[in-house]
């Protein structure tokens, strides 16, 4: 989608602090971090949300989580713990209609969520 901010970041048409990129995903720091480490991991191709995933996307969905774990280790938060969150739809808190996961850590997380 041409107006999607995450698509623009993937195409390097919008600025972002990119921390990881491969053929399938791009990861960058959230501009409104909820914790010391807050990284967004997005597919390089536009997918609206979890609801738009198909069976053909299973490898990509797994790759999003694998990259989250790799980045947690790189950021030094793997041992103490972190959250990986995907918001879907307005009631789920999704504000950008491009599938993405939040890697959040670097401090104790509050509970319960929701």
Residues with catalytic annotation? 100
In angstroms, rounded to a whole number, what is the distance separating the alpha carbons of residues 80 and 70? 14
In angstroms, rounded to a whole number, what is the distance separating the alpha carbons of residues 92 and 94? 6
For 35-78, what is the HEC assignment? CCEEEEEEECCCCCCHHHCCHHHHHHHHHHHHHHHHHHHHHCCC
In angstroms, rounded to a whole number, what is the distance separating the alpha carbons of residues 71 and 57? 21
């Amino acid at each position: 989608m041409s107006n999607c901010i995450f698509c623009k970041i993937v195409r390097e048409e919008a600025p972002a602090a990119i921390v990881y990129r491969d053929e399938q995903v791009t990861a960058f720091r959230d501009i409104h971090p909820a914790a010391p480490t807050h990284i967004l991991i997005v597919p390089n191709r536009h997918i609206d949300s979890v609801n738009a995933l198909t069976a053909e996307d299973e490898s990509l969905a797994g790759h999003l989580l694998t990259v989250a774990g790799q980045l947690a280790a790189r950021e030094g938060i793997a041992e103490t713990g972190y959250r990986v969150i995907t918001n879907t739809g307005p009631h789920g808190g999704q504000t950008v209609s491009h599938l993405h996961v939040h890697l959040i850590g670097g401090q104790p997380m509050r509970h319960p969520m929701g």
